[in-house]
């Protein structure tokens, strides 16, 4: 796919569309991948440029598989919008709000985690309760393929767990409520809420595909133009590249791009 820095003229032209929104994933996009979710840190340069852009764009938002409050605390920029749990919740007015259809699921997730924990006690596997969703991590396992097969076998053998949406991500398997809410629906809602006429989405994993498609849907069906930008890494799913307009090479490239955007929006005229 085309490398974004070879097509900055198109981005410059897109930035003239106002109101304009910048929406970004967190892990693997503005934060380098870490051995555990707790060790991941947002790039200080990304934080600096996102903070600057908050003062000049109609919308700057972060959307993550993490809980909304965790996304907010991790990025730490006032004035940004935070969407958590793959579009199932949003940080608003000092608290997290779940989408209506997902409000009964935290207790179901808790019960499923209690059931699965003794069955997934293999070294290197950990289960993260994210409130309305759960993530089963296996990055620390010595054999990733074997661990993934084991987790999927256990999950699909559980009558409770197999009724959920099972999503395979990079070194993690997510369990989500079977409701019609994802990163894509969240982005379409933001585009309409902020009446965006231009926008960019940055992402690096399978759940970002819904977001990429939403950007393209808005370009077709709403009065909004946008580009989907995929962040390339060694672990990037092959399917991702077929869904994006442009690519960047890792978090370092995202830093460079956000710096360019910050300078461009400040240019006179």
3-state secondary structure of 137: strand
- pTM as predicted: 0.93
The residue-averaged pLDDT of 19-27 equals 97
The residue-averaged pLDDT of 178-190 equals 95
Q: What is the pLDDT of residue 149?
A: 96
Contacts of 80 (CB under 8 A, 6+ apart): 50, 54, 60, 61, 62, 72
Neighbours of 43 (CB within 10 A): 18
3-state secondary structure of 158: coil
Domain residue ranges in the chain: 60-98, 102-176
Inter-residue long-range contacts of 215-219, CB under 8 Å, 24+ positions, other chains counted: 215/187, 217/184, 217/188, 218/187, 218/188, 218/191
What class is the 102-176 domain? Answer: alpha beta
Lowest mean pLDDT among 8-12, 21-25, 26-30, 237-241: 237-241
Contacts of 154 (CB under 8 A, 6+ apart): 116, 119, 120
The residue-averaged pLDDT of 212-230 equals 94
The residue-averaged pLDDT of 12-16 equals 96
Structure tokens at 264: 């461009």
Q: What is the pLDDT of residue 59?
A: 97
Indicate the pLDDT class of residue 269, thresholds 50, 70 and 90: low
CA-angle at 111, arms to 109 and 116, nearest 5°: 90
Task: Report pLDDT digits (tens) over 234-262.
Answer: 877 788 889 999 999 999 999 999 999 99
Q: What is the pLDDT of residue 238?
A: 80
Question: Chain-centre distance of CA 218, in angstroms?
Answer: 18
* Percent residues over pLDDT 70 in the chain: 100
According to DSSP H, which parts of the chain are helical?
A: 8-14, 44-54, 68-75, 105-116, 144-157, 183-193, 208-221, 238-241, 250-265
What is the average pLDDT value for the chain, to the nearest integer?
Answer: 94
Q: What is the pLDDT of residue 241?
A: 86
Lowest mean pLDDT among 18-22, 33-37, 184-188, 199-203: 33-37
Task: Report pLDDT digits (tens) over 70-110.
Answer: 999 999 999 999 999 999 999 987 888 999 899 999 999 99
* Helix (H) or strand (E) segment spanning residue 24: strand 20-24
* Percent residues over pLDDT 90 in the chain: 87
């Amino acid at each position: 796919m085309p490398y974004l820095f070879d097509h900055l003229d198109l981005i410059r032209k897109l930035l003239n569309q106002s109101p304009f929104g910048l929406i970004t994933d967190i892990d693997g996009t503005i934060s380098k991948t870490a051995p555990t979710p707790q060790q991941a840190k947002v790039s200080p340069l990304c934080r600096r440029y996102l903070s600057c852009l908050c003062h000049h764009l109609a919308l700057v938002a972060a959307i993550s598989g993490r809980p909304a409050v965790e996304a907010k605390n991790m990025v730490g920029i006032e004035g940004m919008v935070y969407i958590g749990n793959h579009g199932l919740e949003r940080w608003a007015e000092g608290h997290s709000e779940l989408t209506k259809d997902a409000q009964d699921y935290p207790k179901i997730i808790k019960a499923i985690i209690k059931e699965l924990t003794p069955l997934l006690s293999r070294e290197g596997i950990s289960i993260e309760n994210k409130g309305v969703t759960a993530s089963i991590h296996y990055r620390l396992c010595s054999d990733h393929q074997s661990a993934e097969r084991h987790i999927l076998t256990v999950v699909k053998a559980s009558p409770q767990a197999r009724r959920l949406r099972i999503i395979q991500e990079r070194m993690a398997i997510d369990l989500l409520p079977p409701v019609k809410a994802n990163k894509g629906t969240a982005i379409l809602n933001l585009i309409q809420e902020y009446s965006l006429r231009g926008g960019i989405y940055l992402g690096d994993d399978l759940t970002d595909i819904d977001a990429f498609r939403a950007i393209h849907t808005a370009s077709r069906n709403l009065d909004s133009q946008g580009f989907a930008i995929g962040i390339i890494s060694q672990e990037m799913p092959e399917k991702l590249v077929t869904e994006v307009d442009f690519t960047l090479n890792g978090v370092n490239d995202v830093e460079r791009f956000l710096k360019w955007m910050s300078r461009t929006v400040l240019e006179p005229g």
